[in-house]
Amino acid sequence: MTDLVSSKYTFVCDPNECDCLIEVTSSDGFGFPSGVTELTCPCGRKTTLLSVEHATIQPTNQTKEEKMETTMMPDVDVLQLRIKGLEEHIQRVTQRDFATMAELNKMRDNMKEFTLEGLDDDSISESQAEEIASICGFELTNEFELEVTVQYSITVNARNEEEAHNIIHDIDFDSVSEPEGVAYLSSSVDRIEG
């Protein structure tokens, strides 16, 4: 059996998006058709040809099964380099996602501020503001945390003062009706005067 003349092609996808490395080795008669050296990445983008190396493949007397075993055993250093590359790629993608999320949140907050100001100075209508809020994903309200002191005067029928205090503590003051716009309401009994 004679030696086979081969070509090893190395392609890479967009390093900012996919960062895929593809190596293709072809033997006599199995090169790229019509001299066009193009390859599409599994992500769908066209890859960039990095290098073409000519090599000679030495024939062996191995059976198919033996060839499979040797070709399926990857080099540990190559695997470690690939793992490191994938980890770096994941880190870049994660950082890019966080940066994109921060930009989108800032844009949403700016649109909310613009829309609420437009409602206040009548430069936009209520329906326009609702449409903007729907598109950008925000509510046409701001949240304000307020502390309110309410004083009740209650007459209680009880046998003694301790029983009267217990009755007061059993009252659910949180059950007052909440008007639209109230997101949270809680109460506590600070003191009872008799």
CA dist., res. 6 & res. 52, Å (int): 10
Domain boundaries, the chain: 4-71
Give the neighbor-by-neighbor strand order of the sheet with 21-27: 21-27, 4-12, 48-57
Residue 76: its H or E element:
helix 76-120
The tokens describing 154, both together, are 């209650």
The tokens describing 126, both together, are 């209520």
The tokens describing 163, both together, are 């029983």
Render each residue's pLDDT in the chain as its tens digit; 194 residues: 455 667 777 888 877 777 788 887 776 555 665 666 777 888 888 888 777 777 666 666 666 665 555 555 556 777 788 888 888 888 888 888 888 899 999 999 999 999 999 999 999 999 999 999 999 999 998 888 877 777 777 777 888 888 888 888 887 777 766 666 566 767 777 776 75
Determine the distance from the C-alpha atom of residue 52 to the mean position of all C-alpha atoms in its chain, rounded to a whole number: 38
